[in-house]
Amino acid sequence: MEGRSRLSNLIVQARLNGRALAHLECWNLESLEAIIGASNRLGLPVITGPGLSFADPQWVADGGFAPLLAACRRAADRSATPVLVVLNEANRLEEVRLGLEGGADLVMMTTADLSLEENIERTREVVGLARDYGAAVEGELGGPETGAPERREKEAAPNFTDPEQARLFVSATGVNLLAVSVGNVHTHLGGRAAIKLGRAEQLAEAAQVPLVLHGGSGVPPETIPALIAAGIVKINVGAALRSRFWGAIRRTARQPGAHRSYIWLGRMSPPDPLAEARLALEQEAERWLKLIARNQIANRHEIHNQY
Ligand SMILES: [Zn+2]
């Protein structure tokens, strides 16, 4: 089935059940296996794939992500649960093209820094390209702040998405999803981002396409049901997953036996630091899947009134 129709089927199901779709970023084979393992164990769909904005620019320019994307495609096709492959936050059209050739169901290009006119022009190119592959496109309007101190210095204050511009942008580009800025913060851990739920509701009304929230790691967990009620249909999580993965590697690499690398391939058990990291990440991925993709709005009105 084409990526676009697979995505819209998943969105319809998610909305019927009062859920959102979890976009859990992967960056290597172990993280991919952990995320699909979590999805299979819980019987919940997941969207996964590499994101290019927090990747080494030279690696990206050389198309280094193509083998990882191919692994995502194969793993998704073998999965017992629905897995959609995303190429997230491409910087250039050429990267989008590589992603589509690699079998991405969904592509997204970073355009938050552009003017509205340039953004529309660039995003229309992405939509035109993706159409040939039957893939879906996530557009971006407004720029989430970045939590990482080394990037924060270079960036201006958050640029919240404007509802009228969202209406115009969606009708001018034909995107299938819209990533919005409503107080969400990239690479931010600890769940303290000040989310503007009222703005999310206005945007859902104006945009008339499902909304996406980047920076899920920084969203207070108790806000997630209200975000879903407000119209957010996909929540992206990367920083929290990476943090858990690398934390496990740092802990395990010092343990006795961690150097006996010749016994490790496929065994996936301690003391292999990558196995430890994979197991830790699988737990973290399950936690996020339950937060985002399990029944959230059993009591929609009660939740809604809290915010
Ligand atoms: Zn993002």
pLDDT tens, residue by residue, 78-89: 999 999 999 999
Tell me the CA–centroid distance for residue 272 and ligand 1, in Å: 30
pLDDT at 90 over 80: yes
* Percent residues over pLDDT 70 in the chain: 87
Average pLDDT over residues 120-132: 97
Ligand 1 centre from 242 Cα, in Å?
A: 13
User: How confident is the model at residue 303, as a pLDDT?
Assistant: 37
- Ligand 1 centroid–CA 186 distance in Å is 6
CA of 279 to the centre of ligand 1 (A): 24
Which tens digits make up the pLDDT trace of 216-257?
A: 999 999 999 999 999 999 999 999 999 999 999 998 888 777
C-alpha 204/C-alpha 86 separation (Å) is 22
Higher pLDDT, 65 or 53: 65
Residue 3 structure tokens: 């990526």
Q: How far is the CA of 269 from the centre of ligand 1 (A)?
A: 31
The alpha carbon of 213 and the centre of ligand 1 are apart by a number of angstroms equal to 8
Q: Tell me which residue of 123, 218, 133, 221 sits closest to 175, measured CA to CA.
A: 123
Q: What is the Å distance from ligand 1's center to 214 Cα?
A: 4
Separation of CA 280 and ligand 1 centre (Å): 22
Pinpoint the alpha helices (H) of the chain: 3-16, 29-42, 57-61, 66-78, 93-101, 116-133, 149-152, 163-173, 197-207, 224-230, 239-252, 273-293, 300-305
Q: What average pLDDT does the segment 35-61 reach?
A: 94
Mean per-residue pLDDT for 186-195? 84
* CATH label of the domain that carries residue 117: 3.20.20.70
State residue 264's pLDDT score. Answer: 59
- pLDDT for res 236: 97
In the reported structure, the alpha carbon of residue 216 is separated from the centroid of ligand 1 by a whole-number distance in angstroms of: 9
Average model confidence (pLDDT) across the chain: 89
Q: What value does the mean pLDDT take over residues 71-96?
A: 97
Please enumerate in sequence order all residues whose Cβ is within 8 A of that of 64, keeping only pairs 6 or more positions apart, or say none.
Answer: 56
Q: Is residue 279 over pLDDT 90?
A: yes
Banded pLDDT at 147 (limits 50, 70, 90): low
Confidence of residue 295 (pLDDT cuts 50, 70, 90): low
Report the number of distinct structural domains present in the chain: 1
Q: According to the model, what pLDDT value does residue 259 have?
A: 62
pLDDT on residue 15: 87
Which pLDDT value is given to residue 190? Answer: 80
pLDDT at 307 over 70: no
Of 146 and 143, the one with more pLDDT: 143
What separation in Å is there between the alpha carbon of 255 and the centre of ligand 1? Answer: 34
Per-residue pLDDT tens digits for 204-225: 999 999 999 999 999 999 999 9
Residue 119: pLDDT band (50, 70, 90) is: very high
CA of 263 to the centre of ligand 1 (A): 37
- Mean pLDDT of the 3-21 span: 91
**Ligand 1: distance of its center to the CA of 208 in Å?**
21
Q: Write out the residue range of the structural domain in which residue 275 sits.
A: 3-305
Residue 54: pLDDT band (50, 70, 90) is: confident
* Type of residue found at 23: H
Can you give the pTM of this predicted structure? 0.91
pLDDT at position 48: 98
Task: Kindly report which listed range (121-135, 169-183, 241-255) carries the lowest average pLDDT score.
Answer: 241-255
What is the per-residue pLDDT for 296?
59
What is the CA(39)–ligand 1 centre distance, in A? 21
Residue pair 183/158 in contact by the 8 Å Cβ criterion = yes
Q: Which pLDDT score is estimated for 203? A: 97
The span from the CA of 26 to the CA of 277, in Å, is: 13
CA of 284 to the centre of ligand 1 (A): 18
